[in-house]
Amino acid sequence: MILPASYAGSHVCLALMSLITTPSNSYSPSLRRGHAMRRGRAAYIQVVWLEYLCLFVVAAFTLGLYCTPTYYKDYRVVPMLPSITPSGISQPFGQFQLPLEISYPLVGEPLPTRGCAVVVVLVPLLVIGMFQIKTWSLWDFHAGVVGLLKAVVSTSFVCTTLKHFIGGFRPFYIEACKPDWDAIVEGIHQKIYRFNATLCLGNPSDIDRALQAFPSGHASSSFAAAVFLSLYLNAKLKVFSDHASHFWAFMVVLTPLILASLVSGSMLTSHQHQAQDLIFGMIIGLILGMLAYRSAYAAVFDFRLNHIPLLPFAIKTQYSQDADCLQDAQARLKGEQGAEDDELVFWSWWKQASPKIEEKEEEMPWLQSIKSVRMAGQEPVSKPRMRKCSPEPIVLKA
């Protein structure tokens, strides 16, 4: 189909139109589908490439910051506290002792940092991909993937920055530091009742890691991914809605949060973090997980809208000037297609919504620009079975 010359300069319109299969009698259905799929992939990349590039840049910067030495680690001092040991027992430092909260043994992490990064990304992506078997929605999948990556990458960036510039002593700091006891005793004789990392004889990388306790990266990243996934599951299963939900659906929504709690708790029992490190990490993950979901979907807790993926910014900014082009192109296609190819197929969960919800969505005209049209010769996409919201309240008679 040839667009009018007035629309020739509109890149977004062309990108959207590439998702629509142009019927042609000279091509077989398989060739038309292949051509439409290639154009659809090109249009998708044209719209979202900047989003993925920004995510990659922030992730690379976070990784670089993670590998750099701790900021001003010589300023982190360990105080020598008055001894509480009975006087009959000899002490290496006389009447002083090291803080007990940083004198725990060094043990391995139950879930290593690299393993945690893989789990918090791959497991939610697997769940999001499983839902696409039923919905078969490009933009819902895009919103889920990008929203999850936003949650994990932004949480990792915030926590790595706080660890690097603020940090704190891990419970195993003394064992990782391997202090020079002779120098510490000499300092005590000179009434210097503290020491810093300059008196440590341990591996520098272990010392840096032992100084980066606050906040917990495991707790923050696991809760960010878990909150996003729980909100995603709630939006699809409508657990918190205007009707009572099944208990199995309720437990499905809670499962990511339970798993994130187990990951966080394992860091406490293995003496990797103090309790306050985990609490602040959980708070950061909760906040950024909800913000990431709201940046990808139309609502967080409103059951009428929280399943609707938001329009990508690259399309939203030019929708006003491209809306007429899109409508005209769709009208031309409807005139050229046969009767069986006449209906637009929405990749949406809100198709079966109640009249009140449909009226609410009509107030959001940008939803019209993210339609996906069934390719020529392709069978209609089966719609997910969703429980309809009751249009009117049920009145129980006495």
pLDDT digit string, tens, across residues 253-278: 999 999 999 999 999 999 999 999 99
CA distance 186 to 131: 65
Q: Which two tokens mark 219?
A: 């707790």
Classify each residue of 246-267 as buried b or exposed e, where b means 16 or more C-beta atoms within 10 Å of its C-beta: eeebeebbeebbebbbebbeeb
Chain-centroid distance, C-alpha 193: 45
Query: What pLDDT is attached to residue 134?
Result: 82
Percentage above 70 pLDDT, the chain: 65
Mean confidence (pLDDT) of the chain: 76
Q: Which two tokens mark 69?
A: 């030495």
The tens digit of pLDDT for each residue in 14-55 reads 444 444 444 444 445 555 555 556 666 777 788 888 889 999
Contact 279/216 with Cβ under 8 angstroms? no
Q: Give the pairing type, strands 96-97 and 194-195.
A: unpaired
The tens digit of pLDDT for each residue in 351-383 reads 443 344 444 445 454 444 444 433 434 444 444
Query: What pLDDT is attached to residue 339?
Result: 36
The model's confidence at residue 92, banded by pLDDT at 50, 70 and 90, is low
Which candidate, 172, 175, 151, 168, places its Cα nearest to that of 279?
168
